[in-house]
Amino acid sequence: MIYDAVIIGGGPCGLAAALSLQKRNISNIIIEKGNIADTIYRYPTHQTFFSSAEKLEIGGFPFVHEERKPRRIHALTYYREVVKRSGLTISSFEKAFNIKRSDKGFIVLTEKEDGTLREYRCKAVIIATGYYDNPNRLGVPGEDLPHVFHYFKEGHPYFDKDVAVIGGKNSAIDTALELQKCGARPHVFYRGESYSPSIKPWVLPDFEAHVKGGTIGMTFNSEVISIEKNGIRLKTEGSEHFYSCDYCFAMTGYHPDHKFLKKIGVMIDAESGRPECNPETMETNVENFFIAGVIAAGNNANEIFIENGRFHGDLIGNCLQDRLVKG
């Protein structure tokens, strides 16, 4: 079988693209290395979204929620229900590891968890892989020690422990608040001079209250020099000092993986990390090779979210519909 399109990535933007193609009778399959909405599954257990429920909706399926802002569990329930009701074709726990050109389009090579190799032939490819798999590393000695993490799930294991949190944006602030709630002693170290303007406005007052009350430590103008078994070494305003801790969370953000794009010939802006694409169709400089979701934002992951990336699918669908009809 030759699919009209293979979609790599089963997050909200990949699902939205598949729904858009389905509505236009464009055959497609989603290849997802985990299960649907895998990135959201890996969010902190009690994560609350920036967006209201209606701004997370895809494919015309209503996201009915009684609270103003849904949490991780509500979003997972919603996206599962969308897949169940729409009957999308999804191959989960299958990792795409290569894409090649063929005389009729592309060949996507994959591997299942049991080692089974597969190939999918298609006329178009849509990359909707997000960025959460690739943390921004500090690049300092000790970053790979077993007590250092780039992801945070929940605070209970760190009860009554001293925990360093590196970073100053939403992931770091949320991590510190969850740690404090569970009885840990978090201290945030941020290289900026003041609080980041990107911090959720309904969260910052709570965080500042904890800092003023002494239940969360906060140090600005901090540069991590190294991480050691019993703490981290920092330079703060020109002076070097050592902070003793039991655990360390480097919450310094994430970046997209461009290996598929580069290998197939997509041009990537060296400075911004932004792939070349037509904003009206989301097609890259490679014909019939599209991107959807946050990967289109390059290194600025704060530019595209579910609430705006979900519309990329309709742009792609319109383009492919016109092209397939004419073809």
Q: What digits encode the pLDDT tens for the residues 51-81? A: 899 999 999 999 998 888 899 999 999 999 9
* Fold of the domain built from segment(s) 2-133+254-326: FAD/NAD(P)-binding domain (3.50.50)
Count of CA atoms in the C-beta half-sphere (13 A) of 110: 26
Beta strands 94-102 and 239-244 are unpaired
Per-residue pLDDT reduced to its tens digit, 248-276: 999 998 888 888 898 899 999 888 888 99
Average pLDDT over residues 213-217: 97
Per-residue pLDDT reduced to its tens digit, 8-17: 999 999 999 9
Tokens representing residue 107 in the block: 């060949």
| CATH architecture of structural domain 148-250 | 3-Layer(bba) Sandwich (3.50)
Tokens representing residue 210 in the block: 């904890």
On whether the CB atoms of residues 13 and 312 are closer than 8 A, the answer is yes
Q: How many CB atoms lie within 10 A of CB 290?
A: 26
Looking at residue 67, its pLDDT comes to 83
Q: How many CB atoms lie within 10 A of CB 111?
A: 15
pLDDT at 162 over 90: yes
The CATH 3.50.50.60 domain(s) of the chain lie at 2-133+254-326, 148-250
